[in-house]
């Protein structure tokens, strides 16, 4: 994503709503977005060049961004149908250590599971980032 696209996203932020699941019977209009998660999907051409085939841009509210930075919740996000589900780590059957698990296909959109992609905000800070953090690094 080039710098002009990033600036345009920041300019449109005031009109965006959080696209993450906040529970049953909750309207998304109640959660204005405060930032974006940007996740590039691609491959490494060599040790220097990364090729982003697709970039997910997801508007998130302040509460969701805070939850993503903490260690209590893991977000399951299907990048085929854009559905999301939060998992509370203390009550989960599995031991989750990643902040976001990106799914290719989920029970909402298909019966065929296409893969699982994960990253850790703390361990690979540049792989998934909030747009405001990236814009602050550019300005500095």
What does pLDDT average to over the chain? 78
What b/e string do you get for 92-107 counting C-beta neighbours within 10 Å, with b at 16 or more? eeeebebbbbbbbbbe
Which element (helix H / strand E) includes 6?
A: helix 3-12
Looking at the structure of the chain, the number of domains it has is 1
Distance CA 55, CA 38 (A): 7
Average pLDDT score over residue span 47-56: 71
The pLDDT > 90 percentage for the chain reads 21
End-to-end CA distance of the chain: 19
Q: Structure pTM?
A: 0.73
Which tens digits make up the pLDDT trace of 73-131?
A: 999 988 788 889 999 999 999 888 888 888 888 877 877 777 776 654 444 333 346 66
Full residue range of the structural domain in which residue 22 is found = 3-139
- Per-residue model confidence (pLDDT) at position 59: 93
Give residue 39's pLDDT band: very low, low, confident or very high (50, 70, 90): confident
pLDDT higher than 50, residue 47 = yes
């Amino acid at each position: 994503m080039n710098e002009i696209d990033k600036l345009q996203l920041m300019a449109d932020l005031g009109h965006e709503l959080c696209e993450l699941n906040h529970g049953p019977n909750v309207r998304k209009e109640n959660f204005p977005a405060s930032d974006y998660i940007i996740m590039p999907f691609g491959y490494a051409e060599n040790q220097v060049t990364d090729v982003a085939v697709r970039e997910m841009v997801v508007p998130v509210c302040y509460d969701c961004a805070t939850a993503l930075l903490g260690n209590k919740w893991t977000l399951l996000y299907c990048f085929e149908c854009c559905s999301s589900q939060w998992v509370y780590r203390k009550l989960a059957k599995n031991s989750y250590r990643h902040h976001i698990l990106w799914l290719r296909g989920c029970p909402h959109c298909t019966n065929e599971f296409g893969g699982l992609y994960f990253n850790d905000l703390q361990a690979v800070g540049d792989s998934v980032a909030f747009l405001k953090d990236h814009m602050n690094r550019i300005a500095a």
